[in-house]
A and B are shown apart, each in its own frame.
Chain A
Amino acid sequence: MLKYILLIIILLPKDILSQNILIKNGTVLTVTNGVKENTDILIINGKIAKIDKNLTAPEGTRIVDANNQYVMPGIIDAHSHIALDVINEATSPVTAEVNAGDVLDPLDVAIYRALAGGVTISHAMHGSANAIGGQCETIKHRFGTTNPDELRMQGAPRTIKFALGENPIRTHGEGSKISPNTRMGVEQIFRNAFSQAQLYMKEWDDYKKGITKTSPVYSLRNETVADILKGDIIIHCHSYRADEILMLLRVLKDFGINKICFQHVNEGFKVAPELAAFGASASVFADWWAYKFEVYYSTAYNAAILTRNGVVTSINSDSEELIRHLYHEAAKTQRYGSLTDDEALALITINPAKQLGIDNRVGSIEVGKDGDIAIFSQHPLSIYTIPQMTIVDGIVKFDIKNDEADMRIDINPNETYSSFYENQRHHESQGCMHGLEELLMEDSYAKFMRYKYSKNHSH
């Protein structure tokens, strides 16, 4: 254990421990403890040390004047694919062993653009091609480093991506002609994987106890699924339809698993009482719908209905575009469902923190929590607000007064000038089914044409 802690300290980027900052006279939206006018926040060594009026700071502390500005906790995106080099290992319906944490991309400019929207933490997820996809990584937006490890939020619980419905069916049943080809098939993938992992655990137990002498075959896949069964990994499940959500709840109950956050969950509103009773949480789009059949019967009031039914709900981006204005996405719940300011802000702060198991460290402005702060020119739920400054671990990572246009860290030395990308509609650009073109278009141009013209949405 001591060794582990030491390791963590060694791994911490050096500047974290040295950063102090005092934010003066802001309107502080604590999220968990109301609004405090003209209040200061003192961050020492990257942690919130004091919240009060007229604070003084040790010498050398950077002072930020937030007079007439709004100070809120750093925004947390519970579903994103930025800062990743690979999204899907789409070759098998179960790929629990793969890990998005292996392909973190600290060079991705999207991290800076997210910071410029007040987002300090995102959940870098595997895609939704497989019923059991890969493990995900909760990252802090410590933009500026070239070392992937420095993005990791050390100590954040492990998470894994599951997926229901059209995406795994399309990928495997339609694409590769292997099960699942229906929502019935998807259920059995889970049941089989969990049962397999139970057997696997027993095999190793027997070996370790000396009951059997020959070492079983090692399987990183079964190891990972076993960890889910043990409760060491939080499931984040891509889902849309009410029936499939209920299906997974039944499966999880049968295997004694209780850590589950449903992602997208466009029809979550239909089964909000069931979700609340199970203790499942929901991470939804503010208003995306109709890009494919399973989201045709959606409502932008989803987050409001879920919230009102007692489900811990967040609003996510799943997109390098939306992640830049999650504060605006959260505000949509005021148009669609009249949520209060605190309720709306919770959707992008403390609630996603709960879903990622990091609410004891981030998600609100409280003494002892990480110094992750976003400062806005006006109330963050207003359309007219402009993010002014974003702070991660007490370090200013975005400052509108000191903002260069070209923020690339890694520059292609062989490119004569930057490429312009024709506007890719945001659904397509980067999302759950990213990297899946390969499986969807196998043999011919004809199929390829259909794909191009069908403008397939990815989520």
Chain B
Amino acid sequence: MNTKRFIFILSCLVYCFAGILTIKAQNSDTPKPLSNTHYIKNCFLVKQPGVILSGQNIIVKDGFISDIGPNLKIPYDAQILLADSMYVYAGFIDAYSNTGITKPEQKDRPRIADPGNPPNDIAGITPQFLSNENYNPNDKSVTDMRTAGFGLSQVAPRGMMLPGQSSIFLLGEGNTDEMVLKSGSAQNFQFETSRGVYPSTLIGIMAKFRDLYQNAKIAGQHEEKFLKNPSGLARPDYNKELKSLYPVTTKKQPLYIVAQKTKDVHKALLLKEEFGFDLVLTEVKQGWHYIDKIKQQNIPVLLSLDLPGEEKKSLEKEGKDGEKKDSIKTEVKEIKKEKLDPEKKDYDAKKAAVVKEYLAQAANFEKYGINFGFSFLNSKPSDIKKTIKKLIENGLSENGALAALTTNPAKILGLSHLLGTVEKGKIANLTITDKSYFDEKSVIKFVFVDGKKYDYSEKPRKQKDGKTGHKMIGLWSYEVEIPGAIQKGKINIKKDGSDFKISVKDDTSSNEDVATDINVDGSKLTFSIMATLSTPVKVDFSLDFEDKIYTGNVNVASFGTFPIKGSYDGDPKLNF
């Protein structure tokens, strides 16, 4: 066996094994649960937004809420959860995210002979695809959402224009099929293009959508006709893309359109007007210009929790620059200068007003009586509560916020009969906090998903990485995005004594460039290479590592700076 290949496989095995260990570790340390029955004793029960009952007991059995009341008999097989002074909410519902979807492998795209006529999958048109195929119930993102109080996610596949269909998952551990509550719950559409092939732009996407929609309708109607009476008709072509879109044209399946900014919302509404499908606007950040229309047409909306940041950066800097006195000095000097600048003052005032508009959007939607939930395409689960607090500070009521986390998304997903409130007969998805969830200091203690208890009352200690730079060692893939192309290769990071040794190799060349000016600062790594093009050109890398991936920038002499990203590929190689 080829040694390199061997090392690669070995390292893969090590990783797989490590993965299994961590999953099993939680379970094998504790005894098996004795039953599927739980008795939650003496809690504040938040039945639905605005309805809080004290001194309640809840019996959870076989995944359902089997009874609720102040005086209930404790079933013989119940495990008792002493919930004195705790708050029990319906498990939160994430109506749109990519939770549990592992990032697809970056495959090399074959060269497309005719970019005007690419295969559908390369063009990003895969409406037949189901998110089930990539869903992993044991993915970290699932754990993170559950830890944040969520018991249910409608998961959209990752992809481009028509990435495929969402399915609704219970956010428990287990295998994918067990966790599916509804498969193919929605079709998805986003203004994302595949570079360099048709449709490569927004105008292309709009035209292509219209074309597909009309043809889906024609094909579907033709097939129906054919099934009734085939005489004189051509046999219908089998076209998986059109077949998958047909339910949208007959309103059997809603179409979720990712519409972040105001113009995206406009386009989504425009298409709805043209074709009349059931639209759900999702990941909306700036939708207030169309609030009237949304209200009139009763369009469900999922608001993004990715809100404009507030001086996050300066805080970070303070911490970091603690050691470097020089840089602090210059910072202070600059801030002073900028403060004196009236233009900058105006600029900041204008911006602050705009930020306020973003933050007040949820409150306005509530006032207008729009049925809205939240979507979580670009937000960190651990920040959700903080962000919702911010929305409340900007006018959203606590009940409105809770509705957006529970009853509203249940309604949007058509699952009000199963979820969204704490009622007898509903699925036992519960979120239990020590204080009111909206209290600044509240902590999520337990989450029930599908009747199964997850205990978060003891926070796992954060594992700190040992030495700086330690986790950078290894062989990493990279992808540099230059306009119109993606350059790929490998970065090999080794440690020789206390020194780093880094070499970079482009996939298309046999040359290996050895890095200089290597500098490690926390999770940040910078270095330079002299790339051999027609003349030597200095290329500066600046990478930020997080876990098994990194992101950053590559600066190529005076040509510009381009984003780079990559992931861990294995142990460092002796040679490429």
The residues of A with any CB-CB pair to B shorter than 8 Å are 85-86, 88-95, 97-100, 102-103, 105, 107, 126, 134, 146-149, 176-178, 213-215, 217-221, 406, 408, 410-411, 413-418, 435, 437-446, 448-449, 452
- CB <8 Å contact, B559 and A452: yes
Shortest 9 CB-CB contacts between residues of A and residues of B: A92-B116, A413-B308, A438-B484, A98-B203, A91-B198, A97-B207, A218-B214, A89-B204, A214-B234
Q: Which positions 508-547 of chain B face chain A at CB distance < 8 Å?
A: 508, 531, 533-534, 537
Report the minimal beta-carbon distance from A200 to chain B, rounded to whole angstroms: 13
CA distance A177 to B113 in the complex (A): 8
Q: A147-B266, A413-B358 are in contact. Are A88 and B201 (CB under 8 A)?
A: yes
Q: Which positions 150-209 of chain B face chain A at CB distance < 8 Å?
A: 195-204, 206-207
CA distance A147 to B196 in the complex (A): 29
Report the minimal beta-carbon distance from B452 to chain A, rounded to whole angstroms: 40
Question: Across the interface, which residues of B come within 8 angstroms of A413, CB to CB?
Answer: 308, 351, 354-355, 358
- CB <8 Å contact, B202 and A102: yes
- CB <8 Å contact, B559 and A449: yes
- CB <8 Å contact, B222 and A215: yes
- CB <8 Å contact, A218 and B201: no
Q: Is B380 an interface residue (CB 8 A)?
A: no
- CB <8 Å contact, A445 and B210: no
- CB <8 Å contact, A91 and B115: yes
- CB <8 Å contact, B347 and A99: no
- CB <8 Å contact, B222 and A91: no
Question: Across the interface, which residues of B come within 8 angstroms of A408, CB to CB?
Answer: 350
What residue of chain B has the Cβ atom nearest to residue A175's Cβ? B115
Report the minimal beta-carbon distance from B535 to chain A, rounded to whole angstroms: 9
Known: A91-B197, A178-B114. 18 other contacts (CB 8 A): A86-B203, A89-B204, A91-B116, A91-B199, A94-B116, A97-B211, A102-B202, A105-B263, A107-B262, A134-B203, A220-B207, A406-B346, A411-B351, A413-B358, A417-B347, A443-B485, A444-B487, A449-B533
Question: Across the interface, which residues of B come within 8 angstroms of A214, CB to CB?
Answer: 222, 233-234
CA distance A88 to B115 in the complex (A): 14
Q: Is B309 an interface residue (CB 8 A)?
A: yes
A-contact 0/1 string along B322-363, CB 8 Å cutoff: 000000000000000010000010110011001100100000
- CB <8 Å contact, A176 and B482: no
- CB <8 Å contact, B203 and A217: no
Q: Is B367 an interface residue (CB 8 A)?
A: no
Q: Which of A91, A406, A414, A440 is packed against the most chain B CB atoms within 10 Å?
A: A91
Q: A217-B218, A218-B214, A452-B559 are in contact. Are A446 and B234 (CB under 8 A)?
A: no
- CB <8 Å contact, B556 and A410: no
Report the minimal beta-carbon distance from A12 to chain B, rounded to whole angstroms: 16
Q: A413-B355, A437-B483, A445-B537 are in contact. Are A99 and B207 (CB under 8 A)?
A: yes
What residue of chain A has the Cβ atom nearest to residue B359's Cβ? A413
Q: A218-B214, A441-B485, A449-B559 are in contact. Are A146 and B262 (CB under 8 A)?
A: yes
- CB <8 Å contact, A435 and B201: yes
CA distance A97 to B212 in the complex (A): 12
The residues of B with any CB-CB pair to A shorter than 8 Å are 113-117, 195-204, 206-207, 210-211, 214-215, 218, 221-222, 232-234, 262-263, 266-267, 270, 289, 308-309, 313, 338, 344, 346-347, 350-351, 354-355, 358, 482-485, 487, 508, 531, 533-534, 537, 556, 559
CA distance A92 to B313 in the complex (A): 43
CA distance A417 to B349 in the complex (A): 11
Looking at chain A's contact residues, is the secondary structure mostly helix, strand, loop, or mixed?
loop
Question: Across the interface, which residues of A come within 8 angstroms of B113, CB to CB?
Answer: 177-178
- CB <8 Å contact, B203 and A103: yes
CA distance A440 to B203 in the complex (A): 20
CA distance A438 to B196 in the complex (A): 7
Question: Across the interface, which residues of B come within 8 angstroms of A92, CB to CB?
Answer: 114-117, 198
Question: Across the interface, which residues of B come within 8 angstroms of A444, CB to CB?
Answer: 485, 487, 508, 533
Q: A215-B222, A452-B559 are in contact. Are A86 and B201 (CB under 8 A)?
A: yes
Q: A91-B196, A98-B204, A438-B196 are in contact. Are A445 and B556 (CB under 8 A)?
A: yes
Residue of B267, B346, B485, B487 near A102 (CB, 8 A) is B267
Question: Across the interface, which residues of A come within 8 angstroms of B206, CB to CB?
Answer: 98-99, 102-103
- CB <8 Å contact, A448 and B203: no
Residue of B116, B222, B351, B355 near A93 (CB, 8 A) is B116
CA distance A153 to B23 in the complex (A): 61
10 A-B residue pairings within 8 Å (CB atoms): A90-B200, A91-B196, A92-B117, A178-B115, A214-B234, A217-B218, A417-B338, A437-B483, A445-B559, A448-B482
CA distance A97 to B196 in the complex (A): 18
Q: A89-B199, A437-B484 are in contact. Are A220 and B533 (CB under 8 A)?
A: no
Residue of A89, A100, A213, A448 near B198 (CB, 8 A) is A89
CA distance A92 to B354 in the complex (A): 39
- CB <8 Å contact, A178 and B289: no
Q: A90-B200, A417-B344 are in contact. Are A445 and B354 (CB under 8 A)?
A: no
- CB <8 Å contact, B200 and A438: yes
- CB <8 Å contact, A148 and B266: yes
Report the minimal beta-carbon distance from A423 to chain B, rounded to whole angstroms: 16
- CB <8 Å contact, B203 and A89: yes
Question: Across the interface, which residues of A come within 8 angstroms of B222, CB to CB?
Answer: 214-215
Question: Across the interface, which residues of A come within 8 angstroms of B313, CB to CB?
Answer: 416
CA distance A408 to B266 in the complex (A): 19
- CB <8 Å contact, B215 and A218: yes
- CB <8 Å contact, B202 and A103: yes
- CB <8 Å contact, A99 and B203: yes
- CB <8 Å contact, A410 and B262: yes
- CB <8 Å contact, A411 and B354: yes
CA distance A93 to B211 in the complex (A): 18
Report the minimal beta-carbon distance from A174 to chain B, rounded to whole angstroms: 13
Question: Across the interface, which residues of A come within 8 angstroms of B267, CB to CB?
Answer: 102
CA distance A312 to B169 in the complex (A): 64
Question: Across the interface, which residues of B come within 8 angstroms of A103, CB to CB?
Answer: 201-203, 206, 263
Q: A413-B308, A441-B484 are in contact. Are A89 and B233 (CB under 8 A)?
A: no
CA distance A100 to B114 in the complex (A): 23
Question: Across the interface, which residues of B come within 8 angstroms of A94, CB to CB?
Answer: 116
CA distance A95 to B113 in the complex (A): 17
CA distance A146 to B225 in the complex (A): 44
CA distance A441 to B267 in the complex (A): 30
- CB <8 Å contact, B203 and A100: yes
Question: Across the interface, which residues of B come within 8 angstroms of A440, CB to CB?
Answer: 484
Q: Which of B197, B233, B266, B556 is packed against the most chain A CB atoms within 10 Å?
A: B266
- CB <8 Å contact, A442 and B355: no
- CB <8 Å contact, A89 and B200: yes
CA distance A439 to B201 in the complex (A): 12
CA distance A421 to B252 in the complex (A): 49
Q: A98-B204, A406-B347 are in contact. Are A215 and B218 (CB under 8 A)?
A: yes
- CB <8 Å contact, A218 and B218: yes
What residue of chain B has the Cβ atom nearest to residue A219's Cβ? B211
Report the minimal beta-carbon distance from A369 to chain B, rounded to whole angstroms: 30
Report the minimal beta-carbon distance from B357 to chain A, rounded to whole angstroms: 8
CA distance A437 to B559 in the complex (A): 14
- CB <8 Å contact, A213 and B559: no
CA distance A97 to B202 in the complex (A): 12
- CB <8 Å contact, A438 and B195: yes
Question: Across the interface, which residues of A come within 8 angstroms of B195, CB to CB?
Answer: 438
Residue of A176, A220, A221, A406 near B115 (CB, 8 A) is A176
Question: Across the interface, which residues of A come within 8 angstroms of B485, CB to CB?
Answer: 441-444
Question: Across the interface, which residues of B come within 8 angstroms of A148, CB to CB?
Answer: 263, 266
Question: Across the interface, which residues of A come within 8 angstroms of B233, CB to CB?
Answer: 213-214
Question: Across the interface, which residues of B come within 8 angstroms of A98, CB to CB?
Answer: 199, 201, 203-204, 206-207
- CB <8 Å contact, A218 and B211: yes
Q: A178-B114, A438-B196 are in contact. Are A446 and B533 (CB under 8 A)?
A: yes
CA distance A439 to B115 in the complex (A): 10
Question: Across the interface, which residues of A come within 8 angstroms of B114, CB to CB?
Answer: 92, 176, 178
Question: Across the interface, which residues of B come within 8 angstroms of A99, CB to CB?
Answer: 203, 206-207
Residue of A91, A107, A217, A438 near B483 (CB, 8 A) is A438
Question: Across the interface, which residues of B come within 8 angstroms of A414, CB to CB?
Answer: 308-309
CA distance A296 to B196 in the complex (A): 31
